[in-house]
Structure 1
């Protein structure tokens, strides 16, 4: 039988999901002496089991299977995720050490992100607010909208309450701009906004005012000139109105102190940490660009990792003796028996009742040598064999074939994959050196064992978001 290689799916598709969970440690420092949830510390950053489980549970959003709690797969997933979190934290600390958080570009991005969060908080908390619905209002709604003999269940009450909330939300949002701008004079200089004049318009040109505060072209142009932005003046004015609303909501959010709100602080921590890690990673990659000779040498040295071998979709019948195998082979060739029937009636494979001999896709070089040689020399849809292994005498049929990939270095897709793996290895080495030389990493082995049932990982961390293919 083929030895099925069980390759665990990656816990995270990329660094984005990983860093959402890392933000908690940035927003609220955790004292490892006071929290029994902390399982690792990287410099001054803590990693908790709760963060790890959040990442694993979030994997469903990108189509990944979630390992069940208490299974070996879950514990392996936790270790893989811990390793990735350690790596991400190391890059974050490295970015901070390089003072990348002081760069004007980062500060501008953080400022834009903060304004968006503050505007959203003001919209939800001040303009829409909590929509309260009383029991009497629910009863009255049911009386007016349902038949007299309807059974008033908890589910019906919840449905009625949801409909009331939905209607009230529409009312509150319909006049939101009017309520937002009450007491504030907002003016727009339409003559300064013609799309055909964009090329000559200076960033300091005032295009609107909110109260006494000017709004310049430089502040709004990213919103008004994107590829899918409005092309006519009327459409542009509508976009600008939305932009001015966001600016006004940001101002009022600051006045209410929402910049100290826990939600705001946590989301800002998420953004800053994710952005700094990505910036540092991008900076490192930019400095690692290999020339063609270096890349080809890396390919030649790592062919086993890069090349995807030919694979075939296999169905098989396993017999006790060569004589029996030849008899079944003759009947299949004569059309007296299909391979499905042969598997069901004669195969000694213990799983045959479930599989009818269908093995599925197997890669070249992963099975018994004799069986591998037969399967990868057989013609498609033609019964082949018999061949002997310790499991018995095998008849094999190939139903489909996938050619080997990345076997020619001159092909662009091969070079792209090779470069990704080259960057991965270089980043992995860099992160490992950070762990050894720059930032202390502590994994609380006893806590880890108690919480997960597994021993402390010994492997060095790998670079985040590194993957093959």
Structure 2
């Protein structure tokens, strides 16, 4: 089923069914699944989340469907990684362990901060002194809490370190250090040189930087232990990160196979020289009117000397354009509606266009500035070549993975 149809069905499904059930399964993926709760979490974290409520239903439906498909692919990649044993490797286990420690430490610090509050007497005094400025009152509270938290944090870490019976061996940094050289110990944990500098070329590492890393990691360890003692649970976040990490490691292995060296990139560039073409980029001003009559009236006002941007802030029916006073930023040639692109090709800078009709309304556009198209050599766009090669390989690879872990849609078809 095409993604646009899936997305529309999903939107209609949600609209018709009313309030969603958080654990509703939207799609089964091999032995796994994607739930509505996962989708909502991903949507709220997406870059477009703040703009989502102002979009029309079709755009919202498409974005939901696209996100759902991304989650389904991610789940399939995770299952592929598990099948290939990626989650049983030492690098995976070490990264998961490190992430757990960091996450527990972060959660404990949040817990610690929640214990800090402004005393009633101080709150009363601040309100009296700053009653004419709510912003100043908020800033004063925040400053007090920040300082108290800093002091509490330092005191608590010192207590936890003492309880952990930490021993450090920084003098060993001045000797012939090896990967298994122990630099610090706690009651139940050992930090070796390789834990901090696992890659080659670490012999020349600055001893002070190593000391700082050891001390930083010791802080994280004691905070993580305190979090466990407090009963702080991070298993949900760990499961999410485990899925992400397994897919990331799987794809990293594939990329190394596709691109073993720069020669593979250079060969691909020679086979696809158009990758070096950088299209013209234009800084665009735009006003979108609801009717032809309104658009023509606004165009005449612009020709008479009024600012397109000022009028866009007042009259444009495009939510983004109205919010940004018609400034659409830098847009690449070919990124807009066909009808608009045809006009932009011939439009002189700083001149308002004739009326342009699209499904969004009646447009008036202006090119404020432009960067001409150009052709770049391989060395200047190596990363771009890499991305293009990976994108090409990825399409076929994902098809194979999805075939091994097929999708079974659970979205009810209401059409």
Q: How many residue pairs end up in the alignment? A: 354
Query: In the alignment, is the contact (CA less than 8 A) between 2:281 and 2:332 conserved in 1?
Result: yes
Equivalent in 43, 48, 60 of residue 56 of structure 1: 43
Aligned equivalents of 1:214, 1:293: Cα separation in 2: 47
Q: Does residue 74 of structure 2 align to residue 99 of structure 1?
A: no
Contact 2:43/2:49 (CA < 8 Å) preserved in 1? no
Q: Say if 2:380 is the partner of 1:432.
A: no
Corresponding residue for residue 240 of structure 1:
214
2:177 is the counterpart of 1:204: no
The alignment partner of 1:204 has SS state of coil
Cα 1:230–1:270 change in 2 (3 A) is farther
Structure number with the higher helix fraction is 2
Distance 1:411 1:219 in 2: 37
1:404 and 2:373 matched? yes
Tell whether the 8 Å contact from 1:220 to 1:243 is kept in structure 2 after alignment.
no
Pick closer, same or farther for the CA change 1:124–1:381 going to 2, 3 Å: closer
Q: 1:39 touches 1:444 (CA, 8 Å); kept in 2? A: yes
- Change in Cα spacing, 1:227 to 1:119, as seen in structure 2 (3 Å) is farther
Indicate conservation of the 8 Å contact 1:177/1:245, yes or no: yes
Deviation of residue 206 (structure 1)?
Answer: 3.1
SS of equivalent to 1:201: coil
In structure 2, the residue matched to 1:442 is 408
Give the Å deviation of 1:211: 4.2
Label 1:236 to 1:102 Cα distance change in 2 as closer, same or farther (>3 A).
closer
Distance 1:174 1:310, change over 3 A: closer
Question: Is 1:277–2:247 an aligned residue pair?
Answer: yes
For 2:301 and 2:172, how far apart are their aligned partners in 1? 79
Picking from 40, 45, 49, the partner of 2:32 is: 45
| Unpaired stretches in structure 1, ≥5 consecutive residues | 1-7, 9-33, 317-338, 346-350, 391-395, 456-469
Per-residue CA deviations over 1:257-288 (Å, capped at 9, x if unaligned) read: 85xx43x2122222221111111112122222
SS at match of 1:193: helix
CA distance in 1, matches of 2:332, 2:151: 60
Per-residue deviation at 1:208? 3.3
Equivalent residue for 1:141? 122
Is structure 2 residue 54 aligned with structure 1 residue 84? no
Gaps of 5+ in 2: 5-20, 287-298, 306-310, 317-326, 358-364
- Counterparts in 2 of 1:270 and 1:228: CA distance versus 1, 3 Å: farther
d(CA) in 2 for partners of 1:239 and 1:150? 46
Q: Distance in 2 between matches of 1:167 and 1:415?
A: 47
Say if 1:76 and 1:145 are closer, same or farther in 2 by CA, change over 3 A: closer
Counterparts of 2:130 and 2:71 in 1: how far apart (Å)?
58
How many Å apart are 1:172 and its aligned residue? Answer: 2.1
Q: Quick one: structure 1 residues 40 and 307, their matched pair in 2 at CA, closer, same or farther if it must change by over 3 Å? A: farther
* Alpha-carbon contact 1:180-1:249 (below 8 Å) kept: yes
For the residue of structure 2 that corresponds to 1:445, the secondary structure is coil
Matching residue of 2:294:
none
Judged with a 3 Å threshold, the aligned counterparts in structure 2 of structure 1 residues 291 and 119 are, in CA distance, closer, same or farther, namely closer
Contact 2:29-2:405 within 8 A present in 1 as well: yes
TM-score, structure 1 length as denominator?
Answer: 0.57
Q: Quickly say closer, same or farther: Cα 1:398–1:217, change in 2 above 3 A.
A: closer
Instruction: Show the counterpart of 1:326.
Output: none
* 1:401-447 deviation line (CA, Å, top 9, x unaligned): 432345x6x544566535423321321122122223x112112231x
C-alpha distance after superposition, 1:282-315 (max 9, x if no partner): 2122222357555544x27xx6x98554466799
Larger mean CA deviation between 160-169 and 286-295 belongs to 160-169
Q: Assess if the C-alpha contact under 8 Å between 2:109 and 2:153 holds in 1.
A: no
Tell me the CA shift for residue 243 of structure 1. 2.9
Q: C-alpha separation between the residues in 2 aligned to 1:176 and 1:342?
A: 64
C-alpha distance in 2 between matches for 1:121 and 1:91: 29
1:26 corresponds in structure 2 to none
Q: 1:355-395 CA deviation, whole Å, 9 max, x = no partner?
A: 9xx999784797679x95x97578x6699x9x9x99xxxxx
The corresponding residue for 2:236 is 266
For residues 113-124 of structure 1, the aligned pairs below 5 Å read 113-124=99-110
Contact 2:280–2:371 under 8 Å retained in 1: yes
- Go from structure 1 to structure 2 and tell me whether the alpha carbon gap of 1:44 and 1:342 turns closer, same or farther (over 3 Å shift): closer
3-state SS in 1 of match to 2:46: helix
Is the CA contact (8 Å cut-off) linking 2:283 and 2:331 kept in structure 1?
A: yes
The 8 Å contact of residues 52 and 81 in structure 1, kept in 2 or not, is answered as: yes
TM-aligned CA deviation for residue 37 of structure 1: 3.2
Structure-to-structure mapping, 1:443-462, within 5 angstroms: 443-446=409-412
SS in 2 for 1:77: helix
Give the Cα–Cα distance (whole angstroms) in 2 for the partners of residues 439 and 187 of structure 1. 49
CA distance in 2, matches of 1:342, 1:105: 62
Counterpart CA distance in 1 for 2:373 and 2:145 is: 58
